[in-house]
Amino acid sequence: MAHALQKPSESPVLKTHPRMTFRSGQFLYEIVSDGTQSVYRVTDGKETLDEPILYAFGNAHVAQTYVFRHGGKLLEGRVSYYASIDGLDWTVGDALDPPPDLEEAAGRDIDSDEARNCFSCHGTAALANGRLQLDPLIPGVSCEACHGPGQKHAMAKLLETGADSMIFNPKTLDAETLSQEFCGACHRGVDSVAVMPDLGGVSNVRFQPYRLFNSRGHDAKDPRLTCTACHDPHLNLGQQDAGNDSHCKICHDPGTAAQTRHTKQDKSAGAKRREASSLSTKCPVAGDKCMSCHMPKVEVPGSHFQFTDHRIRIVRPGEPYPY
């Protein structure tokens, strides 16, 4: 998460790719880097628009998207870098066929609300009194992004006062607040998806707290079903065992409590009902690799990547993706 937002000079992609190109119809896109500056450029053969890249969003494990300023507005580049193809393609959701003009072809205007969300989730200290402030922005998700200002905490530790309360610890939150509100503030909880209809469809597989909430038998108040039950936010995904069967077997292994109360969302009534289910029964299909059946990989069109669907369920061949 520390590399969720980078200055162009810090981006390994831009450092190792001095020139990347992408063509669509009459428009040629180029991202050119010379070691000191990276420029986002698009031309229709007659006119050219180019601007220095201000920020690179994403650590390029999946993709990296570029933001620049043009005409006083922040624009998200219409093309992004994708690791699986080691090159440029349309930014997810931004394909225009054909773009109406050069400026529209270059980038999408991210209005003030969207810009605040983008920078506050990918960076630290991006907002001051609710306003976007890029000068004090710390690129990437630092300790203070989750734990709050650390000056008093650092001083307490330095003076050995034992005042651990001088820092916020998300572990103190109840299970529902932790996953749906705290993690969900950036990764999209059920409430944020509900008020943003444009986040619907298969693209919402990227919003893990929302998908988890709608899992079969999910109980939002059960600490065994929080984001941090499987994920350590202090480690990169490649360093942790988030997909280890041991997480599933806390509930589903024989010898655990025979009866566990689970919550199931009744969408038509907008309420939750309780149902008892025995979770000590062995899976009739397999005894390991639980995620391969119950958390399938789903590719978002144009993303060149398969995301793990956190809507835990029995997946049957040929059934449609559950929104």
> Which of the pair, 290 or 286, is modelled with greater confidence?
290
Residue 266 confidence (pLDDT): 42
Q: Where are the domains of the chain?
A: 5-110, 121-166, 171-308
Q: Indicate whether 207 pLDDT > 50.
A: yes
Mean pLDDT across the chain:
87
Q: Indicate whether 128 pLDDT > 80.
A: yes
The residues pairing with 22 across neighbouring beta strands, listed in sequence order, are 29
pTM for the whole structure = 0.86
Q: Indicate whether 270 pLDDT > 60.
A: no
The rounded distance, in Å, linking the Cα atoms of 91 and 89 is 6
The rounded distance, in Å, linking the Cα atoms of 87 and 142 is 28
Residue 264 confidence (pLDDT): 41
Identify the weakest region by mean pLDDT among 12-26, 35-49, 86-100, 140-154. Answer: 86-100
Which of the four pLDDT bands, split at 50, 70 and 90, describes residue 259?
A: very low
* Token pair of 168 as six digits: 């916020």
Per-residue pLDDT tens digits for 78-127: 999 999 999 999 999 887 777 789 999 999 999 888 999 999 999 999 99
The residues pairing with 187 across neighbouring beta strands, listed in sequence order, are none
CB 106 within 8 A of CB 113: no
Per-residue pLDDT tens digits for 183-205: 999 999 999 888 776 667 899 99
